[in-house]
Amino acid sequence: APYYRQIADGMIAGARATGASIGAVVDLVEVPGALEIPTAIGLAASRNLYDGYVALGCVIRGETTHYDIVCGESARGLQELALHYALAIGNGILTVENTDQAVVRADPHGQNKGGGAAAAALHLIALKRGWESRTAGGPDAAATPRDVILLAGEIDGPVGA
């Protein structure tokens, strides 16, 4: 959702870079705002168009309760889609108090929340593919391939954990 163009551009750049790092094909679909993101993903999912989805947007608190509605309903919509239809969705909709917070989080050389959302979607795609390739109840049904987890970070957690 390109409501705040500079912020959206930073998040898109981060998500694209993460996708490109593993050779993923990325399509950009823009919608008017954060509330429309779940609907757009639902429409694409109904056509089986993509392996996964990265929801990018920004909601900045204003003077009314509209912020709470947009934040809650966009997150709820994404979660319902992911759970009900087994979709791999990385949620990168920023919910912040002010523009400065959004700029820091959107910066692909800073907190890179767009890249983080793309990494989450890629991780879920890898998990889904790994589980789909196994037979239920087979000898390796309880084992998770260790290389799948590496998409989203260190497999054994931080050193000293």
Catalytic machinery residues: 66
Distance of CA 85 to the CA centre of its chain: 16
Half-sphere exposure of 2 (CA within 13 A, CB side): 8
* Cβ neighbours for 129, distance < 8 A, ≥ 6 positions apart: none
Q: Which residues pair with 93 in a beta bridge?
A: 57
Q: What are phi and psi of 56, to 5 degrees?
A: -120, 135
